[in-house]
C-alpha cells in the first residue's frame, strides 16, 4: 500500500476526530503524548515510521530584530574550510583498496597500540 493512499477514509476521519477531541478537552500535551505512543507502537510492530526532525524550539525573535554579529572573517573561513574538508573526507572513497583504513586515516593499527 502506498503511504499517501488512504484506503479507509472513514477510519482515518475517526482517528483524526478522536485526536482533535483529545487536543480540545485534554490539551496539546496529551494529544502529543498519544501520537508519540502510537508511533512507538507502530515501530515496535515493525511498521515504517520516518523519524521526525523537528523540535519544540520556536524562535521568538524575528530575523529582522536579531542583533548583527560582527563575526571574525578569519575564524569563519577556517570553520568553512574544515567543514568542506570533512565533507570530502566522508564522501570520497579510499584512494587505494589495498591500503588498510588505519594507514590512510593516520591512526595506528590495533596491534601497535598495545603497551609493551
Does residue 7 carry a pLDDT above 50? Answer: yes
| Higher pLDDT among residues 16 and 65, named by residue | 16
DSSP E strand boundaries for 23-76: none
Q: Give tens-digit pLDDT for 51-81.
A: 776 777 777 888 888 887 778 889 988 998 9
Q: Is 23 exposed, middle or buried (0-12, 13-18, 19+ CB in 10 A)?
A: middle
> Residue 114: pLDDT above 70?
no
DSSP, collapsed to helix, strand or coil, labels residue 70 as coil
For residues 30 and 20, the answer to whether their CB atoms sit within 8 Å is: no
| Assessment of whether the complete model's pTM goes beyond 0.85 | no
Strand blocks (E) in 29-84:
none
108: its cell numbers:
595506528
Q: Which three cell numbers stand for residue 5?
A: 493512499
| Domain range annotation of the chain | 10-57
**Are the C-beta atoms of residues 19 and 13 closer than 8 Å to each other?**
no
Amino acid at each position: 500500500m502506498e503511504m499517501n493512499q488512504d484506503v479507509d477514509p472513514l477510519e482515518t476521519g475517526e482517528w483524526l476526530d478522536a485526536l482533535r477531541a483529545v487536543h480540545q478537552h485534554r490539551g496539546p500535551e496529551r494529544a502529543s503524548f498519544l501520537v508519540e505512543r502510537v508511533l512507538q507502537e507502530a515501530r515496535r510492530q515493525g511498521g515504517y515510521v520516518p523519524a521526525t526532525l523537528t523540535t519544540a524550539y520556536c524562535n521568538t525573535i524575528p530575523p529582522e530584530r536579531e542583533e548583527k554579529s560582527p563575526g571574525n572573517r578569519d575564524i569563519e573561513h577556517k570553520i568553512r574550510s574544515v567543514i568542506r574538508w570533512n565533507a570530502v573526507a566522508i564522501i570520497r572513497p579510499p584512494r587505494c583498496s589495498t591500503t588498510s583504513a588505519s594507514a590512510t586515516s593516520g591512526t595506528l593499527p590495533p596491534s601497535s597500540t598495545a603497551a609493551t
